[in-house]
Amino acid sequence: MHAKGGVALGLLGGVGIVIMTFVFKLAPGKPPVDVMLTIIAVVAASATLQASGGLEVLLVGAEKALRRNPKYVSVLAPFVTCLLTMLCGTGHVVYTMLPIIYDIAIKNNIRPERPMAASSIASQMGILASPVSVAIVSLVAFLAKVPVAGQVIDFVGVLSITIPSTLAGVLMIGIFSWFRGKDLDQDEEFQKRIADPEQRKVVYGETATLLGKKLATAQWTAMWIFVGAIALVAFLGAFQSLRPLVGGKPLSMVLTIQMFMMLAGALILLFTKTDPSLIGKTEVFRAGMIAVVAVFGIAWMADTVFEAHLPEFKAALADLVKTQPWTYAIALLLVSKLVNSQAAAIVAMVPVGLAIGVPPGYIVAFAAASYGYYILPTYPSDLAAIQFDRSGTTHIGKYVINHSFILPGLIGVSTSCLIGYLLASARGLV
């Protein structure tokens, strides 16, 4: 989420709340406290992983896989960035990979736009396949209140649809990227650029790599603690009988994730002697706290509006949504573009969808539509991909909308929604 955009949106939500409450006399809605606390817990653990250097272990492994198979970088790179996001719960891990992906592409005469744009999009798509992402935790928390035929679509139920549908979308992006754009030797603009010896030096530049780095034992320890905590969370999600009973019901997954993420962060600190003062300075921490402010303001304002006008919304939209449930996916996509965050889009739209009668199965099937902020190239990972691509092939077009990310985004998200729908149908959820 863009630093200015995220915080500003959240604070502007506060302006909206004051106006609605004091001027229009609406009852203030409820801020999504569960979601915000979960973001804080997950971000604290991920930021501790980054501060301890444990994240570098994952990044070095990712680079090794890519450098071993440079010819297939256009298909492999998006899978690698998607996988890193699935493990860390945030797409911000992509920044470290982008210069490496560029380096592999340009040194192998592969058009850098192919893997670069695909990797930026895939890193954001991975959020909906991550057991520790805010978007998934929020989705599970909302669905927990709405059973389908007496059964709640739980944590594992959601991931068993979102993981395969996300990976199918990433595969389609990779296949499309393999063939997109002109090969470098056929690209007149690129050839004109490298005809100047100075420019050629810039384009082919120094090799960006993490491979020479010596990884300390503490870094490996931190990485295994973090990955172990994620595995444990997924395990407890799958076998609810292992969770303690609270008021006659198994402990909620929202609380389980919060507890184990805090535990993971604490264990990393204890076993790796990481300096705690570094945690707040990491990129992951900064981005995560921006997300908290954004979700707080946007979701609180949305809840206030929808609570006040729910009967009208139901009357206007219920019939349309019942006969054409895909319209919910379009609404989710547009809201996501406005709020620039999948978590914020889910927090704003899922409760509304459930309240007006969208079947929970459709909400899971079309979860991928919460990623719509590739439509305009304003997201930091997209801008970073353009910056790191010194060949100029990853670009924003003359009409702004015709940029390098729009086609991979549309292909990835629509494929994910289609596969999600087929999987939910096969389960009898829709």
Q: Give the pLDDT confidence score for residue 77 in this predicted structure.
A: 97
Mark 112-128 as b/e (b = at least 16 C-beta within 10 Å).
bbbbbbbbbbbbbbbbb
Question: Which pLDDT score is estimated for 263?
Answer: 97
Q: Maximum CA pair distance of the chain? A: 73
- Distance CA(32)–CA(138), nearest Å, equals 9
Determine the Cα–Cα distance for residues 67 and 211; give it in Å rounded to an integer: 10
Task: Please answer whether residues 60 and 93 qualify as being in contact, where contact means their C-beta atoms are separated by less than 8 angstroms.
Answer: no
Name the one residue in this structure whose structure tokens are 């086609």: 407
Query: Domain residue spans in the chain?
Result: 3-426
* Residue 419: Cβ-neighbour burial (10 angstroms; 0-12, 13-18, 19+): buried
Question: What local confidence, expressed as pLDDT, does residue 93 receive?
Answer: 79
Give dist(CA 129, CA 139) in Å, integer.
12
Q: Is 245 helix (H, G, I), strand (E, B) or coil?
A: strand
Note the pLDDT tens digit of each residue in 366-393.
999 999 989 988 787 888 898 889 898 9
Ranges in the chain, pLDDT < 50: 1-4
- Are the CB atoms for 266 and 49 separated by under 8 Å? no
Helix (H) or strand (E) holding 250: strand 249-250
The reported pTM is: 0.84
Task: Supply the pLDDT for residue 133.
Answer: 85
246: three-class secondary structure by DSSP: strand
Give the pLDDT of residue 7: 81
pLDDT of residue 3: 41
Structure confidence at residue 409 (pLDDT): 97
- The Cα–Cα gap between 49 and 29 comes to 35
- Show the beta-strand stretches assigned E in 324-394: none
